[in-house]
Chains A and B, each alone.
Chain A
Amino acid sequence: MPLVEVRKLTKQFRKGDEVITPLQEVHLDIERGDFVSLMGSSGSGKSTLLNAISGIDRPTSGEIFVNGRDITKMSRGQLADWRAANIGYIFQMHNLIPVLTAYENIELPLLLLPMSASERQKRVEIALDAVTLRDRANHYPRQLSGGQEQRVGIARAIVANPTIIVGDEPTGDLDSVTTDQILDLIQRLNAELGMTLLLVTHDPRVAALAARQLRLENGKLIEKGREVAIVGAEFHARRAL
């Protein structure tokens, strides 16, 4: 069974008198350990799909099963609990809490989980090591460079060992050198730790790193240039062969 199953997902919203449909009956399967990139023109609905899968936005219709649970049926509170346990979100603008140190920012998601203080400390230190920022643990976001902030953001996303890590243009606000560092880090998350990744990007370089490259066009999802009934199913079938 796929880790993520998106079925007939439609999202519509109103802009004045106009009804916009960025997602039209989208189907998608993501297996555990997949590294999926999602591209598309501005307004194509790629962030909308990402937000729906990560449970911070609700579709107009359709179903999203993650680990067999339909998250579209959950209440706001249930979704929050579910996100805490299952989603690691990497933002484009880092979105660190400015009054908290790097350590405290990374620790935030763990405060929501049943965990002892010593276990939290251990996990935060591992995450800091993973992004090679142990020496910046007590620095505030304003004392960090853009790349360091994004690495803290990544550490915060992985620290709770979530089911899936989603990133919305995670390198969109970085220079090319820092982008390379971040991409290397993201790639290692998938290759070495086997984490499931779904990244929205404009950058073909980022997309090229992913084993599966998806594109959203006119509300439809296309994998490797072909529109398919359930995006992902054919990929995994071929891989199985």
Chain B
Amino acid sequence: MFKFAPYVVKGLWRNRSRTLLTVSGSAVALFVFCFVGSVQEGLARLTEDQQAQRTLIVFQENRFCPASSKLPEDYARTVGKISGVRDVVPIKVFTNNCRASLDVVVFNGMPPDQLRSVRDLTLLAGNWGDFESRTDAAIVGRAVAQRRGIDVGERFTIGEVTVHVVGLFRSTVPAEENYIYTHLDFLQRARGKNEVGTITQLEVLLDESADPDRLATQIDAQLKSGPVATSTRSKGVFQRDTLADLAELIGFAHWLGYACVGLVLALVATTTVMAVQDRIKEHAVLQTLGLRPGRIFRLVIAESVLQSLAGGLLGIGAGLALLAWGGFAVGAEGVTIAFKPSLELALTGALVSAVVGVLAGVIPGWQAARTEIVSALRAA
């Protein structure tokens, strides 16, 4: 089959305008496919992550926006005493925008020592010493830093909160890279307020043997007698509930991904049909020379796959590059979904391109293979 590669490639180059338009169309469609896939992967990571299943979030009952959840900080002590709880982290959350946004900035105030122990963060610039020694210090996730152009040593202000950036970090959890971490008490005193003793939520880390559902029920029951009623869920469920509206939209968006696949299919099939119809006589000549109908079919399929795959790889490459460098995320109510490139996404995109190429070539390939030699030679 490879012996005929020059014929296939030169055949595509013969109608380069048509080929380039088809490749461009496929590229755009796979670019969108990649983005949609990345958003869905981001949501799945947040809700299905194993760690997220074994961590509980204690939030104020019937509250959704972090600005409206106010828990007493000493709830942490109460929860910490419950059997099966490994650690409890009090967190103050501040976000510049509670609604869905593509550029939401979320501050998480945590005790510095606990930040290092419960988050898997690697500093790309700056150092932990500076973070621990300055009360207004902040370390910034690289996605936010990319998006906002933030660097170490700068002061960053948003929504009346001004921090001194002492570090940039990456994380094994992509969504984390969209957060800015500060000291807990700094965020409690920020914006001229004094909310010392009040936090937004508790993050509860469980022992290996603990049952998350049973413990969540137990925590809510134990805190029921306190001044603020709570709602405790696994981190995955909490994030899914918080992003419920967005999740619905993202779920709908997967149809957009399918539409892109359909678009490529229609585009490549149309181009291939046109290419075959232009070359009825040529295929008859090839058959006269001794090419089997099956080989003609495979040559047409190869043309179709090449166009689809070339466009697909371009689109996937551009999409993944943009996802890698753009630091995109969508967030709502202090929870963000990171759009990250992934090998799985690249492979899925390439596979989709190849399969679509094959499917798009089936009918034109069959037409070419069934060409009646004599009538085709006479016709042109």
CA distance A85 to B377 in the complex (A): 21
Query: A76 CA to B10 CA in the complex, in Å?
Result: 27
Q: Is the CB of A56 within 8 A of B6?
A: no
Cβ contacts B278-295/A at 8 Å (1 or 0 each): 000110011111111110
A85 and B289 alpha carbons, distance in the complex (Å): 9
Contact of B281 among A54, A80, A95, A111 (CB under 8 A): A95
Check A112 against B291 for contact (C-beta < 8 Å): yes
A57 in contact (CB, < 8 A): yes
CB proximity of A112 to chain B, nearest CB, Å: 5
Contact A100 B290 (CB under 8 A): no
**A residues in contact with B287, CB < 8 Å:** 56, 80
Is chain A's interface secondary structure helix, strand, loop, or mixed overall?
helix
Complex Cα distance, B371 from A76, in Å, reads 11
Once the chains bind, are B373 and A56 in contact (CB under 8 Å)? Answer: yes
Chain A residues positioned under 8 Å from B3 (CB to CB): 111
Binary CB contact string for chain B from 283 to 314 against chain A (1 if under 8 A, 0 otherwise): 00111111111100000000000000000000
- Interchain CB contact under 8 A, A83 and B6: no
- A interface residue count range (under 10 / 10 to 19 / 20 to 34 / 35 or more): 20 to 34
In the assembled complex, A84 has its CB within 8 A of some CB on chain B: yes
Count of chain A to chain B residue pairs whose CB atoms are closer than 8 Å in the complex: 67
**Counting CB contacts under 8 A, is B14 at the interface?**
yes
A35 cross-chain contacts in B, Cβ below 8 A: none
Cα A76 to Cα B292 in complex, Å, equals 7
Give, as a whole number of angstroms, the nearest-CB distance from A155 to chain B: 13
Interface SS majority for chain B: helix
Q: Is the CB of B285 within 8 A of A81?
A: no
Contact in complex: A80, B377 (CB < 8 Å): no
Decide: B13 and A99 in contact? CB cutoff 8 A: yes
Taken residue by residue from 1 to 15, chain B's Cβ proximity to chain A (1 for < 8 Å, 0 otherwise) reads as 001101100110110
Asked if B259 is at the interface of the complex by the 8 Å CB criterion, the answer is no
Q: Is A183 an interface residue when CB atoms closer than 8 A count as contact?
A: no
The reply to whether B288 and A89 contact each other, CB–CB distance below 8 Å, is: yes
Specify which chain B residues have a CB less than 8 angstroms from the CB of A56 in the assembled complex: 287-288, 373-374, 377
**Cα distance, A85 to B292, chains bound together (Å):** 12
Nearest-neighbor residue (CB-CB) of B10 within chain A: A99
Binding site for A on B (CB under 8 A): 3-4, 6-7, 10-11, 13-14, 281-282, 285-294, 373-374, 377
> Which A residues lie at the B interface, using CB under 8 A?
51, 54, 56-57, 76-77, 80-85, 87, 89, 91, 95, 97-100, 104, 108-109, 111-112, 156
Ordered nearest first, which 4 A-B pairs have the shortest CB separation? A84-B290, A99-B10, A80-B292, A56-B373
Other A-B pairs, 15, CB within 8 Å; known A80-B291, A83-B288 = A76-B293, A77-B294, A80-B290, A80-B293, A81-B290, A97-B7, A98-B14, A98-B282, A99-B7, A99-B10, A100-B6, A100-B10, A108-B7, A108-B289, A112-B289
